[in-house]
Structure 1
Amino acid sequence: MARELVYTGFMSLDGVVDSPGGTTEGHRSGGWVLQTPFVPEAYSLKAEEIEETSALMFGRRSYDAFAPVWPKSEDHAAYKELPKYVVSTSLGADEPVGDWGEITILRSTEDVAELKRGEGGAIFIHGSAELARRLAEADLIDRYNLLVFPVLLGAGKSIFSREDRERQNLSLRESESYGNGVVKAVYDVVR
């Protein structure tokens, strides 16, 4: 049985996924997650994901952002020893951090497809908007775990292509709304 590839992330209502906690992407609306009132149950999806995650996948820029922080983060301690895959044509074999478990560099979408054909549990993609968009276009994403925030940003990266393409149907697996306006939406890709 093929491994499931899951995109997980915070998203604005207009589809922006970058700069949820800061201004690293350079548009003026960065930090939008931290500006939403905190309601603990709105983040329960993240705890559920920890139980289900067997490996992590990142694009190069997201890896570069997370690798210095997550190995030391108590919130991400469960991820420390999990296998990690970085999809990059430019990351050198000697560059991955040494204190974050097994790290494998994948060089292409076909490498990701080959990984999915193997045995094992769910692989979760964090951040990595450009990677997620490429993998969705190659029909490799199986599920979207989204926390949609009640904000319109207008600028920023999206995991969804704006190109004219064949319709992709999704099936709602689970949803819930919270007092701070955040909506959990878990969708399976229909094939």
Structure 2
Amino acid sequence: MKCGKCGSSFRRKKINNTVCWTCSKHNINAADCELKAIPQDLIYSIFIGLCNKLFCNYKTILKPLQTSLQDLKLKEFTGKTQVMDIHKEIAKFREQTHILARLKTKGFLDEAKYIEQTTELTAKINKLQAELKKLTRSDDEDETLDQIDMLIDFFEKRENPMTEFEESAFESIVDKIVVKSQHELEFHLIGGLKFKEKI
């Protein structure tokens, strides 16, 4: 946790038997920084609220972001012939899987043959995608995209909203918290996302 007023780190402290987080500068001398201590339970409940908002809306917030990042990445490499050739190959194999599915539906292809051929095509697609990833690797963007994927995965795997603070969830998706004021926290999540929440 960082202080949005003076930039100091927040530290854990017990005040009247309540666990709080306080700006280290304010803790030494209150006149040096106006931000007062914030109870840990309050931070936890705000985190739960943020998680539940994202749990209900991640498809409209995170999914379009993921798509935009993927599109941007593709645009960067559209001029590279090798990359374009691989994309064409992937599209060709995908089309073949659709044709097989149609043939099976119409009864021209038995189940065993269908499974054998689609498994083969899927293996080819996976191999090409791995090759594509090597060719289009740009570390910062990849890391951001990987982290957005992790966030989406985190919410997709949840079955229910959060009812109590989960330390493992907090550790895996929160990068840091900036205390903007006595009434506002800014959560910095993985993937470079920032969300302001009222206290």
TM range (shorter): under 0.3
| Structure showing greater relative contact order (alpha-carbon pairs closer than 8 Å, 6 or more residues apart) | 1
* TM-score of the aligned structures, taking structure 2 as reference length: 0.23
Structure holding more strand per residue: 1
Q: Which protein has the larger Cα radius of gyration, Structure 1 or Structure 2?
A: 2
With structure 1 as the length reference, what TM-score do the two structures score?
0.23
